Copies of this chain bind each other. A is one copy, B any other.
Amino acid sequence: MTVLLLDHVAIATPDLEAGSAPYVALGLNPEGPDEDVASQGVRVRAFQVGETLIELLMPTRDDSPIAAFLARKGPGLHHTAYRVADLNAEMARLRADGARFLNEEPTPGRAGSRVAFLHPKWGAGTLIELVEHPAGGHPAGGHG
């Protein structure tokens, strides 16, 4: 079994405050300060719910993929991310199975993670990300 957990559900928003309102109303609290992820051109606000994070993504530059998504579709659910123990091994396994990735090599994600996005066609219409956390950096563990 290679897939461990649903790491996060990502939601595109033009405004972290407005986007946070429903999650705050549900009773969730932001997990630490907002974090800029330069590789994706986004600022991230994360809400922990059980072992998963709800991540709100706000674009920080015009050429961010999230800016393009918001222009095309408006605010809403953007992708799901699965936590794996060994990202390189999982990428190799899925490539051998015919999968295509949007980024050929892992790129930096939030909170020191390494991430890779699978092509939406592979995901049957949804964007799927794989996430490897640094040893000990399990967000539902020590940082919760």
Cβ < 8 Å to B, chain A residues 93-144: 94, 97, 99, 118, 122-126, 128
How many copies of this chain are found per oligomer? 2
Given contacts A3-B49, A50-B6, contact A22 B77 (CB under 8 A): no
Cβ < 8 Å to B, chain A residues 28-64: 28, 49-52, 54
Are A22's CB and B118's CB within 8 A? Answer: yes
Given contacts A5-B50, A6-B52, A51-B50, contact A94 B25 (CB under 8 A): yes
Q: Give the secondary structure class of A's interface.
A: mixed
Chain A interface residues (CB < 8 Å from chain B): 1-6, 9, 11, 13, 18-19, 21-22, 25-28, 49-52, 54, 73-80, 82, 94, 97, 99, 118, 122-126, 128
